[in-house]
Structure 1
């Protein structure tokens, strides 16, 4: 399977997020992220949040998850953060799913993440991205508060290392404090140079003459 974009779903999530965030200023980032999560039909949406962080992104992601019939999980560092976050979300009429713990450890327990949002200002965001377990169709990664100069290099250095995940496309958007976005595709097991070598030639035998032919794939 692969990520398939649905403009209709994205538009619906965008409009619903606008309505939900109409009392919040500077929510353009929220609306964009919500539309992306819904447009990609994300079934497991995960974000990390520090204490006192802006919750509008969470509101948008919850809206997106309702459109995709998916699950939204917010990872917070401690119980005080959880209490503060839940109270703020409930004030907006939402009941979030919250997990308390070190984000790097929590994402290891979450399988098939489709959409991951992290804060690139935090020192642990690289470890979080490396530990995240994406599904067979890959995932969309969003880094908030990104630096445009290091954006593309930073993400490609994390994923395009000959491992099981590769970046299909990445972009930096000067929205809010900067968004670094990448579509990370899952590479099939055994892919790479060895797989190419093994499948480069296919042997065929002529049943009548018994001759063998090597056909390049």
Structure 2
């Protein structure tokens, strides 16, 4: 079975390209850089995010950069036409040339057509974030899930087993003090009754651009 393999080289290139893309438009693109590097490092072929009108666009720019590095597909799920137009305009204003597919619709309807999701980014400020998670058709070889704005719903009150289908196997999860808080989980390979080995833990480094402090986490 093909497993998710980390590439430090691709992650570093995506990180630097995201810095270049954001530095002229955003003061603190820390989370965007981090998610871009992570999506690229795992060689994600299908990157999906949810977005709604008025939300920051920096994360979207970073994911679009990651998709270019992996020759993958970047899809943005929005709730209505207003959000679709707002997303396209915001990406253009950010100076990002992107082939991102923007899909309008309810979570169940939209996620039904997206198979083998490798990297999923959700905003906990969206009321339907849990529905998107439950409807997501993750890659059977494993996937990475990221929920930003964790502080919006309370760090201690979030539990992956409360928002994922019961057959989704979370290999490991962690909370990162990036932006307004970020919950990250690695969903393991799903092979029915066949047991799969857990991937070895990896160290993840994040530099706070405001304070200059360096944080290292085991993922």
TM-score tier, shorter chain, comes to 0.7 to 0.9
Equivalent residue, structure 1, for 2:112: 108
Aligned-partner Cα distance in 2 for 1:25–1:104: 35
- Does structure 2 retain, via aligned residues, the 8 Å contact 1:159–1:167? no
SS of residue paired to 2:169? strand
Shift of 1:159: 4.2
Aligned-partner Cα distance in 1 for 2:120–2:68: 16
Equivalent residue, structure 2, for 1:156: 161
Equivalent residue, structure 1, for 2:200: none
Shift of 1:181: 0.2
> How many residue pairs are counted as aligned between the two chains?
188
**Are residue 139 (structure 1) and residue 151 (structure 2) matched?**
no
Equivalent residue, structure 2, for 1:3: 4
Shift of 1:189: 1.9
Aligned-partner Cα distance in 2 for 1:114–1:108: 15
Aligned CA-pair RMSD: 1.6
Equivalent residue, structure 1, for 2:199: none
Aligned-partner Cα distance in 2 for 1:150–1:100: 29
SS of residue paired to 2:60? helix
Aligned-partner Cα distance in 1 for 2:130–2:165: 14
Equivalent residue, structure 2, for 1:19: 20
In the alignment, structure 1 segments of 5+ residues that lack a partner are 193-217
Equivalent residue, structure 2, for 1:65: 67
**Are residue 186 (structure 1) and residue 189 (structure 2) matched?**
yes
Please identify the structure whose Cα radius of gyration is greater.
1
Equivalent residue, structure 1, for 2:125: 121
Shift of 1:27: 0.8
Shift of 1:26: 1.8
- Does structure 2 retain, via aligned residues, the 8 Å contact 1:172–1:181? yes
Higher helix share: 1
Shift of 1:123: 2.4
Aligned-partner Cα distance in 1 for 2:32–2:162: 27
User: Could you say if the C-alpha distance between residues 48 and 160 of structure 1 is closer, same or farther in structure 2, counting changes exceeding 3 Å?
Assistant: closer
Shift of 1:82: 1.1
Aligned-partner Cα distance in 2 for 1:148–1:82: 30
Aligned-partner Cα distance in 2 for 1:104–1:125: 11
Superposed CA deviations along residues 48-70 of structure 1, whole A, max 9, x for unmatched, are 00111111101000000000000
- Does structure 1 retain, via aligned residues, the 8 Å contact 2:117–2:136? yes
With normalisation by structure 2, the TM-score equals: 0.81
Shift of 1:150: 2.6
Aligned-partner Cα distance in 2 for 1:160–1:111: 16
Superposed CA deviations along residues 156-204 of structure 1, whole A, max 9, x for unmatched, are 334483x2x2001100001110000000013212358xxxxxxxxxxxx
